[in-house]
Amino acid sequence: MKSIGEIVDSLTSDKLEEGTKEKVENRI
């Protein structure tokens, strides 16, 4: 099983990646 920290890191990294994609799309 993953530790809570690992799960949180994976969730936050996913959200960050989605946020950066949205920002890039807005710039275009």
What DSSP string describes 1-28?
---HHHHHHHHHHHHHHHHHHHHHHHH-
pLDDT in tens, 1-28: 789 999 889 888 888 888 777 877 887 6
pLDDT computed for residue 3 by the predictor:
93
Predicted TM-score (pTM) above 0.75 = no
pLDDT computed for residue 28 by the predictor:
65
For the chain, the domains span: 1-28
Q: What distance in Å separates the CA atoms of residue 28 and residue 25, rounded to the nearest whole number?
A: 5
